[in-house]
Each structure stands twice: as structure tokens, then as C-alpha cells.
Structure 1
């Protein structure tokens, strides 16, 4: 992860040179970046992927190590989703390309979501690859995906291009790649001007039901 503080906006950029898989290293780095942003009194946070891909989802190599290792990674990933969804600072996702599975859930947990225009796919492939969607993921999905696309996105594993992903509710808007940094910074700057205490409190109120279901499901995994 590359961390920078630009005009009071913390920018967390993830680039593993490959698919930006969500494994222990990314989870460690993401949490460290969130901690640092708070300690440095940042006004907002931007989470940015590498050119062409935001994240390809969980690290499949971790699942191959055994059931316990896979479950431990998944639980940490779910903890991150809850932390992002209820984080006191505004969080803007810069979706730099393909956004798959856990990558899409991370984007949906952010407050504002800007995608990159291009030949990219946004998808929840869980059904297609034989995986369950537990309540923690369904609660987050139902809070962002519009009703008309819920079956297609969550159940039928439909693949969306960036513009279609806006219609479905994965993203708020798309821009050309060369505009992404400026646009996400513009949004983050605007959000950073809102009263921080009220932003944090109202985020918890707006997402109260979603966070409650997510927290209850996480607790059942213990």
C-alpha cells in the first residue's frame, strides 16, 4: 500500500502488481491506512486500486491452505467491511478497473464510489463459483444494489460494465481514467468540509439496520 496525505485527504493506493487480491497483507495494510488517517486527523479517505483493476477478490491461495486458514481470512475481510461501512470519516472508492467479489463488497462499503470508464467488469460471482452469500454480504448488497438488479447481481452473477454498474448500484458515477484522481479528490474535499461528528453519527444512523445484520452475522462466526 502507498499512503499519502494530500490537502488533508488520506489516499490509500493498493497495487500488488497483479489482481490486488484481498489477503492478509492487503487487510493489514488497509487497516493500518485507516488507523493512520485517523491519527493524522485526515478529513476524508480515498481508497484506490491499481490501473485496470480495483480488486479481484479474496486470495484463493489462502483457501488452499485449509479450511481454518480460509475462514480466518474471510472473517478478517468481513471485519473490514463492517469497519468501512461504519467508519467515522468519509470514504471515497476510486474503482480503477475490474471489481470482483470481495473487491466489489469493499467498494459497496465505501460512501462514494467512482469507477473508471473502459472494458472492465464489476460482478459478484459467488453463485457462479459455488459459494454462499451469507447475511453479512447480503445486507451490504441490499443496501446498495437497486431492487431491479438484486436478482441479476447477487443471485445470477451477472457481469456489469462500469456504466451498467452505476445503474445497478455498485458505483455512483464513472469517469475517464485520466479524470479519476481529480474527481475522487474533488468529492473527498467536499465531504471533508462537512461537520465530522455529525457525519460519523449520521452514517451510523443511515446504516443502522445494515450494520446490525452484519455485526450479528460476524458474531455468529466466532
Structure 2
């Protein structure tokens, strides 16, 4: 076994490969990554929810949930969290932290329209979440089926029956495509950077079409 440290490296040793992703440190004063991070805008899909975006950001950078939750604002309790809705979440702060287009972040939040009804628990399509995708459209109570797959939307864990509140908090962020209570998978492996993209043009059109019909139609 190679010693932890030595005065000179052994001969004929292949150079170590650079890490796939940068090792991050956290600026405790701002509770944001201090040395940069990895996030590609091409990883975003149409009508993707804030929870889905933050799960990708968290997994790509190997960040713990409490650090990601702090990005929502200094006055927000990361364990209580907030409902991801326009007027509640600070879009400008997230835009500065994630470098995700502000328009994409606004589309990732529930509109602040009183007459629109949204589920208070996390609802998802098992086929979508298997690929690491969740949409704001999945939260609309008027939608019983996934716009792309036509499958029934579900909220309860198949293993324990737990329904996670639709709040961006540490518990939900650290679950990453799993039940926040028992840890069972919601389906598949979820999203990883080397498995992107997955959404076909047909599915992208289906989500976009329904988004505009529901919100602007």
C-alpha cells in the first residue's frame, strides 16, 4: 500500500487523473460555493421545477442539502424550507448563485395566481423521475396524467406510503429521487451528468405546449 505521504514520488508512476468535477469549498459567510461549481444550462429541460433543478445542481457538485437550501435566502430556515412559488423564492439570488437564466427559474416556480390550484405534496411521474426530471406541471391538481407519458401522477412512496410536502427544504433536497422518509427509490437511478440529455423532442413539445395552455391559454 502506498504511504500517505513521502518525500519523493515513486518512479514510473502514472500521473493521477484530474477529478471529474472540481472539489468545492463553502464560503461560510455566504453559504455559497466559493471556488466555482459545475452546471451546464443544457442540462435543463422545459418546464423543469426548482426542486428538479436543485437536485441536478446538488448531484453534479456533490453538495449537501443544507448548503443548497441556503441558496434560497439568508432568512429562510433550510429545514423548514419554502414553497417554490413566485413571490416567495428570490429569483435574483438564485440566478446569481446558480447562473441559470432568470426566465428558466421563473418557469420553474409555481405561479402566484390564486385561482390556480396546486398540490401541497410532491407529485411526480415515475418515468420522468427515473431520468431525473420533475415538472411544475406535475404539481397542478388539474393534471392527473403526465403530459409526456400519459401515466398517472403519484405522490406516495410505494414502499412506505409517505407523501413529501412540496417545500424546498433539506429533507427533500437530500432525498434526490428517493423517498425522504424511508429512502426508497422513486424509480430508476435519477439524473447524473453523464446521462444527459434524455428528453426527446416529442416530450419537450408536450410539456411546453401544456405549460402555455395552462398558464397563458
Query: TM-score with structure 1 length normalisation?
Result: 0.30
Q: Larger Rg: 1 or 2?
A: 2
Structure with the larger strand share: 1
Structure with the larger helix share: 1
Query: TM-score with structure 2 length normalisation?
Result: 0.31
